[in-house]
Structure 1
Amino acid sequence: MNILSLKAKLEAELSKLESELKSIGIRNPANPKDWEAKGNDLEGDPDPNVAADNIEEFETRSGELRQLEIRYNEVRAALQRIAENTYGICVIGGEPIEEERLEANPAATTCISHRDS
């Protein structure tokens, strides 16, 4: 298994995810590890249709942000496991994670037999 190649993939994905997160969200000032969806700036009393559209857009961004944040945290955790020399070991059974699984998902935490556990 080429850890350096997988690490490079993870670092590239982390950078891309962070850019995507910044495009639809901001870091939570109270918890910098957490992200919040950007709201629409509303001045005055908007038309109810505009307000409804803004709420819908915010909810869409919130859902997208949650999915991006989950993956972002998975990738960060994988990079941390590389730093701790525990990368590539199934967190459930302790056996090595198959190379093809790591190639398909470098942030995988389980082997193929435990992926649905």
Structure 2
Amino acid sequence: MLTIEQLSELKEKLLTEKKSTETELEKIAEKRGGEDVRAKFELMDERDEEANADEVEEYASDLAVTEALEKKLKEINSALEKMETGTYGKCENCTGEKIPVERLRAYPAAATCIKCQN
């Protein structure tokens, strides 16, 4: 079981990572003038892709980064929620086995133990 000090340390890491991730998402949104990257990318037809290859490439890159950051933010929020409910640090796959503190320190949003991750 995690100690209060360990939980506090890991919560601080999660909150720092959450702020950093949100900042990165905001930067992408600002770069795009607040427009939805997915919506614009989905509206482009083949003629647009050929005529604006650089723009398409940039949108595709932004879309991939945005999706990765959103996934990361979801994992962080899930971990923070688990802290509130008392289920943080328990593997989601193997009947609640404890996730080693070393793994949580390396990746505080981990939802599975190393065995289940592989």
Normalising by structure 2, we get a TM-score of: 0.76
Residue 74 of structure 1 deviates from its aligned partner by 0.5
**Does the alignment pair 1:111 with 2:117?**
no
More contact order relative to length (CA 8 Å, sep ≥ 6)? 2
Which residue does the alignment assign to 1:5?
9
How many residue pairs are counted as aligned between the two chains?
100
* Cα shift readout 1:16-49 (whole Å, capped 9, x = no counterpart): 00000111138xxxxxxxxx4286xxxxxxxx75
Separation (CA, whole Å) in 1 of partners of 2:113 and 2:58: 38
Structure 2 equivalent of residue 80 of structure 1: 81
Structure 1 position 57 matched with structure 2 position 61: no
Aligned alpha-carbon RMSD (Å): 2.2
After TM superposition, give the deviation of residue 90 of structure 1 in Å.
0.7
How far apart in 2 are the matches of 1:112 and 1:59? 32
Shift of 1:83: 0.8
Q: Could you say which residue in structure 2 is the equivalent of 1:99?
A: 101
Structure 1 residues not aligned, in runs of 5+: 27-35, 40-47
Give % identity: 36
How many Å separate the matches in 1 of 2:64 and 2:102?
30
Moved over 4 A (4+): none
Where does structure 2 lack aligned partners over 5 or more consecutive residues? 31-35, 41-49
Per the alignment, residue 37 of structure 1 pairs with 37
TM-score when normalising by structure 1: 0.77
Does residue 90 of the first structure (1) align with residue 91 of the second (2)?
Answer: yes
8 Å CA contact 1:25–1:65 kept in 2: the answer is no
Match of 1:29 in 2: none
Name the aligned partner's letter for residue 13 of structure 1: E
Partner SS state of residue 98, structure 2: coil
Specify which structure has the higher proportion of helix: 2
Give secondary structure in 2 for the equivalent of 1:96.
coil
